[in-house]
């Protein structure tokens, strides 16, 4: 998969940018705050429909503007695909080859990207929640069903928590409801855990090889 073209309009500090010559490896050089990270962020935004740096899409729109657009031409095994993602106060709209996608999840996966930024060392150093978020971002790009179960899980969890808040003193009445939520939580949770385990197993194979290459095969026990 290659990105042939990238276009930004009113995106962060870019008023208009059109890039159409990429190599296999690309170095982006610039002064502090010139927009290097913004450029990489835009690519990840195209892959995920959201930023890794903020949950507020509004921040992606240039100050003083009312909309932003990120577009790209991506070359895949079976031809090129045009990606078009637009942000405005009405929300976001995603098009593939000019066709608006009904659900953003149908757009996710058209471009696959893995971000590695200094703060990503938290994946190793940080709490398990950081690692789960990383897995969610990566698996979600290649398996739409994963995103579905993740969304359902989160929905059920919110509803179950609401029920628990109301349950004080009337546990018996709500026990049946709770059981239904529990069942659903387990159903989606099992799917999520299974997919995470499969993914980690694959990652481990790669990681072991790279690790052996760095350390000459020596492994520490912690």
Ligand X SMILES: Nc1ncnc2c1ncn2[C@@H]1O[C@H](COP(=O)(O)OP(=O)(O)OP(=O)(O)O)[C@@H](O)[C@H]1O
**Among 65, 78, 73, CA closest to 98:** 73
Q: Is 119 in the site for ligand X (CB under 6 A)?
A: no
Q: Which is nearer to ligand X, 43 or 96 (CB)?
A: 43
Interatomic CA distance for residues 214 and 216, integer angstroms: 6
Q: Which is nearer to Mg ion, 12 or 195 (CB)?
A: 12
Q: Is 143 in the site for Mg ion (CB under 5 A)?
A: no
Stretch that binds ligand X, among 58-66, 93-101, 126-134, 169-177 (CB under 6 A): 58-66
Out of Mg ion, ligand X, none, which partner does residue 32 contact, by CB within 5 to 8 A per kind? Answer: ligand X
Contact 34, 27 (CB under 8 A): no
Q: Could you write out the three-class secondary structure of 18-78?
A: EECCCCCCCCCCCCCCCCHHHHHHHHHHHHHCCCCCCCCHHHHECCCCCEEEEEEEEEECC
Among positions 31-50, residues that touch Mg ion (CB under 5 A) are 37
Q: What is the nearest approach in angstroms of ligand X to the Cβ of residue 144? A: 30
**Among 97, 51, 48, CA closest to 72:** 97
Interatomic CA distance for residues 21 and 71, integer angstroms: 15
Q: Which is nearer to ligand X, 41 or 181 (CB)?
A: 41
Of 19, 62, 163, 199, the one binding ligand X by CB under 6 A: 62
Of 4, 15, 26, 30, the one binding ligand X by CB under 6 A: 30
**Among 181, 188, 179, 196, CA closest to 142:** 196
Out of ligand X, Mg ion, none, which partner does residue 13 contact, by CB within 5 to 8 A per kind? Answer: ligand X
Q: Which is nearer to ligand X, 59 or 171 (CB)?
A: 59
Q: Is 27 in the site for ligand X (CB under 6 A)?
A: no
Please give the backbone phi and psi of residue 156, each rounded to the nearest 5 degrees, phi first. -60, -40
Q: Which is nearer to ligand X, 11 or 153 (CB)?
A: 11
Residues that bind Mg ion (CB under 5 A): 37
Task: Note the residues at the interface with ligand X (CB under 6 A).
Answer: 12-13, 30, 32-38, 59, 61-63
């Amino acid at each position: 998969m290659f990105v042939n073209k990238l276009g930004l309009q009113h995106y962060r500090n870019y008023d208009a940018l059109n890039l159409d010559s990429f190599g296999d490896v690309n170095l982006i050089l610039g002064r502090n705050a010139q927009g290097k990270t913004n450029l990489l962020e835009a690519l990840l935004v195209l892959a995920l429909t959201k930023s890794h740096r903020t949950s507020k899409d509004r921040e992606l729109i240039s100050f003083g503007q009312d909309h932003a657009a990120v577009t790209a031409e991506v070359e895949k095994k079976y031809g090129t695909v045009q990606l078009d993602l637009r942000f405005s106060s009405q929300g976001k709209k995603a098009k593939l080859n000019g066709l608006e996608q009904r659900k953003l999840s149908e757009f996710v996966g058209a471009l696959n990207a893995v971000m590695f930024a200094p703060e990503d060392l938290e994946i190793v150093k940080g709490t398990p929640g950081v690692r789960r978020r990383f897995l969610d971002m990566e698996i979600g790009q290649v398996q739409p069903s994963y995103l579905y179960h993740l969304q359902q899980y989160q929905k059920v969890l919110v509803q179950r928590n609401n029920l628990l808040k109301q349950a004080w003193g009337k546990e018996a009445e709500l026990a049946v409801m709770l059981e239904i939520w529990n069942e659903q939580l387990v159903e989606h949770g099992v799917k999520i855990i299974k997919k995470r385990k499969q993914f980690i197993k694959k990652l481990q194979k790669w990681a072991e090889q790279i690790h052996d290459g760095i350390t000459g095969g020596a492994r520490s026990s912690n």
